[in-house]
Amino acid sequence: MSDFEPFYDVKHSYEDNYEQGPFGAFAEALKATPSVTSGDSSPYEGELEKKTSDGVVGEPGSAAFLGQPVNLPFGIPAGPLLNSRFTTAAFRMGFDLATYKTVRSRAWGCNPFPNVLAVHPKSADGSLTPGSAELDEGVLADTDYEQPISISNSFGVPSQSPDVWQPDMRAAIAAAGLGQVLVPSFQGSRVEGMSEEEYIADHATTARLIKETGAKLMVMNTSCPNEGHNRLLCHNPLLVGRITEAVKQEIGDIPLMVKLAYIPSDDDLELMVRSTVGHGTVQGFSTINTISAKLVDADGNQALPGAGRDRSGVCGNAIRGAGLDMVARLAAIREKLGLDFEINGVGGVVSPADYQAYRNAGADSVMSATGAMWDAELARKIKSSIK
């Protein structure tokens, strides 16, 4: 695949991508307009002429994401869209939901380069199973990128400082076309010596900073290590409930979605729903993020250099089965409890069939990160398949 150029260039650092990207077809899309802050409608606006969230013929924009009208409830989740140039290019390539990479209340550095490697699970279909022995024994990772694509995600959730990302997020919001929505993502930052109450307050502060940009909705990331190696905030539903209460006090009626990792226990997943949606603090869940795995090279050695990087989140084709499972289980809990919340399906969407599989599993919206990185035409292909 050496002749293909993903819009995030995995051969360069995060910092270089932030300053110079996006690349490939996304870069060409940006050349179509004079400014990323112009607010011009997407040149692909209306290519999905009539489509509702249930697949029924309707007027453009008749589908919705957390109350906002969209042409098609499909887009790119938190991760590869680093700033307003990336999100604007995504809009122009027909992705109607563009998630601004997760921001923090303070500047936060990126893990050392490289951050992305191709990942090759042993299974015939290239999938990884949560809880399997392979995740701890080692999964081959190298620079042989091939379809269907799976990659490592070892960034450490970097963030610019608010004085940089706030004005840039305003520009990103303004660049959305008709039937398109900028989706800000954020998380709290646990630093040494911080108490639990201070950790909760940091989430609320970051949400307030996003609100100041004019955002119409937001997603809170609970699915990356926040409290120590391989410990995820979403594995503590009661704490997530406390945090979302503090966040809602800051953002009021602005819809809040929570990003989840894979949660194996139905009881824990139901407790998450009861602790958040059940208290009126959360309006949706996005799932899944990545699956943590030990990554090794062909000789069995640590694939990503540096202390504490023996494991990495894996995303792309390898995690589609786990993502579909989480969506179906959330949908079942939604029906069981009679609660109203949206489900955003994420993980391994590399084709129109994958989009439809997530919708059939119960997802109200769908997003693709790795698949979109390697196929800038993915949104247009999905729209064409629905017509």
Listed residue (232, 226, 295) closest to 263, CA to CA: 232
Length of the chain: 387
Q: Which amino acid is at 123?
A: S
Return left, alpha or beta for 369; rule: phi > 0 is left, psi -120 to 50 is alpha, else beta.
alpha
Q: What is the DSSP string of 124-152?
A: TT----TT-THHHH-EEEES---SSPEEE
Residue 321 is classified by DSSP as H
Q: Which of 229, 238, 242, 349 is CA-nearest to residue 286?
A: 349
Cβ neighbours of residue 322 closer than 8 Å, sequence gap 6 or more: 128, 129, 130, 262, 288, 291, 347
Cα–Cα dist 283/255, whole Å? 6
Tokens of 248: 């809602």
Q: Which of 110, 224, 234, 315 is catalytic?
A: 224
Note if 315 is an active site residue: no
Q: How many Å apart are CA 354 and CA 368, to the nearest integer?
A: 10
For the CA atoms of 215, 210, 102, 131, the dihedral, rounded to the nearest 10 degrees, stands at -90
Answer yes or no: are the C-beta atoms of 117 and 298 closer than 8 Å: no
Rg (Cα) of the chain, in Å, rounded?
19
Q: What residue spans of 43-117 are helical by DSSP H?
A: 84-92
The catalytic site residues sit at: 224
